[in-house]
Structure 1
């Protein structure tokens, strides 16, 4: 009888989701060699190759893609059993505020892992722009918020600093047009810096879309009618970073910050904060 080890499967899922052994090792608080050894043992047990190592970037082999779904289910079931049958049972609600443009790809993974560990805790996800989230946090309406800012206020923690990137339609050409057509939210914190960079570079621009709806911005950019700017790595799969070859100015970096309070649920909030911390630092 051959048995699969949940710890090994957890490492495999982390490598698949984070795109590499190094990031997975950091996320799991293991050494890179330990994660590599676990993958090797899993491959030997199953008699298959899980990773395609022919390219510089690691990708899953066909058997690896097939295993991934099973592995996620087994890890999730393990965590659910441990959460439901252990002595400590937490119930309640946490309000998590996140700007629209950094929800993906990290936050859904965090919500999934947190729910497996605390199945009776409800996380209400609130999406808005940074200024509104900070106002809500100061009014006590949110327990944890993430923000995108040039700096960080007292009590905040910077999770990661990443550059802004020009975003356009896949294979699009809107970035070549002059005046450059822009699509931004009315309250977007990146907007002023982007316009300042264009003005400094002497590039004429036109605000083609000014809205409060991120869906409207995505639809316009997807149609190749305008361009946008997002934090590196947060663009949705139907859009892409523009390879402009220097035709557009480089943009500034932004901090992704976290602000958290404690309302008597220290361990629960600490766990959520730690999972957010790890997810964004290994994004």
Structure 2
């Protein structure tokens, strides 16, 4: 029987750090190793997988296609390793953890995983920031946020841990009836919101007139505007409240295009508390349906 190759987690951790931090020197500073030691570990990993993993363009270092494939596996293998170590060490978790959520996801995630995490880890200060997905991605790149849940403009993105599909639905007050000869009164978040774009694209594609009658940054204000019969909007099912009903083609509204959503974090930058929250979020996502994908597709 042929022996299987083992990929040491220290080599995988170094590879992740080089890719996510953008170079051998930065990875070495975080991991406490010299640049030659980091280079040696990368070469050893390339020997084990029998293919180049990194390519340099000018001063920038990028993963090769094989490196991109390995990165997804490496992040998951190191995450599971760290989860197992935390379980047996039982170390106290403290510090500040900054998480970013789109406004539509603040409600569902806060009520479940995040509140459970705070209850189990009272010494961790959790800072929750709700914003447009494009802003959350920017703040992740600039290290202003530790973990984000955000929509994905492309299928392959840095720092991606999990991705899944969300189907937006049209929502209105139960008593609201749309007049077919009048513009659809829309409620939406600010310019740049993916749900706002989906509504406008769908209505324009169906040659259905519309007008924005409510704009606001928060999900609760948008929900109240819908419940009061001011507007219709696109929501996730998790944010559809009692007193609302789903609208569809029978109401003269076209189907909305689905959205790809992802869970993102920089593994080398995360504290033990952050890695625990990622594991909690992953477990929560995997429990809600088969649409959650562990690897980028």
TM tier relative to shorter chain: 0.5 to 0.7
CA RMSD of aligned residues (A): 2.6
Change (3 A) 1:209 1:246: closer
Whether 1:234 aligns to 2:239 is yes
Measure, in 2, the Cα distance between the counterparts of 1:185 and 1:144: 22
Do residues 98 (structure 1) and 101 (structure 2) align?
yes
1:143–1:262: 8 Å Cα contact kept in structure 2?
Answer: no
Correspondences of 1:8-47 after superposition (within 5 Å): none
Q: How far apart, CA to CA, are the structure 1 residues paired with 2:254 and 2:238?
A: 19
2:142 maps to 1:139: yes
From 92, 96, 120, give the equivalent of 1:89: 92
**Deviation sequence 1:60-96 (CA, Å, 0-9, x none):** xxxxxxxxxxxxxxxxxxxxxxx9xx85112101001
Q: How does 1:94-243 map to 2 (within 5 A)?
A: 94-152=97-155, 153-174=157-178, 178-187=182-191, 188-242=193-247
Runs of 4+ in 1 over 6 A off after TM superposition: none
Tell me by how many angstroms 1:117 deviates: 3.3
Please list the CA deviations of residues 14-56 of structure 1 after superposition, one character each: whole Å capped at 9, or x if unmatched: xxxxxxxxxxxxxxxxxxxxxxxxxxxxxxxxxxxxxxxxxxx
Counterpart of 2:282? 277
Based on CA coordinates, which of the two structures has the bigger radius of gyration?
2
Structure 2 match to 1:53: none
Unpaired segments ≥5 residues, structure 1:
1-82
Query: Cα 1:177–1:234, aligned 2, differ >3 Å: closer, same or farther?
Result: farther
Deviation, 1:277, is 2.2
1:64 corresponds in structure 2 to none
Distance change >3 Å, CA 118–CA 279, structure 1 → 2: same
Q: Which string of whole-angstrom CA distances, capped at 9 and with x for unpartnered residues, describes residues 149-206 of structure 1? A: 3534232234321211001113422476721110112231222222121111121111
What SS does the corresponding residue of 1:224 show, helix, strand or coil?
A: coil
Instruction: Determine the C-alpha separation between the residues in 2 that align with 1:254 and 1:120.
Output: 35
Give the 3 Å change call, closer, same or farther, for CA 142–222 of structure 1 in structure 2. Answer: same
1:186–1:211 contact (8 Å) kept in structure 2: yes
Deviations along 1:96-148, one digit per CA (max 9) or x if unpaired, are: 11111112223321123212432211211111111111111111111001102
Aligned length: 199
Contact 1:174 1:180 in 2 (8 A): yes
Question: Alpha carbons of 1:177 and 1:156: their partners in 2 closer, same or farther (altered >3 Å)?
Answer: farther
- Aligned CA distance change for structure 1 residues 103 and 260 (closer, same or farther; 3 Å): same
Quick one: distance in 1 between partners of 2:257 and 2:265?
Answer: 26
TM superposition score normalised by structure 2? 0.59
Report the counterpart of residue 60 of structure 1 in structure 2: none
Q: Which ranges in structure 2 are unaligned for 5 or more consecutive residues?
A: 1-85, 289-297
- CA contact 2:173–2:245 (8 Å) conserved in 1: yes
In the TM superposition, what is the alpha-carbon distance from 1:261 to its structure 2 partner?
Answer: 1.8
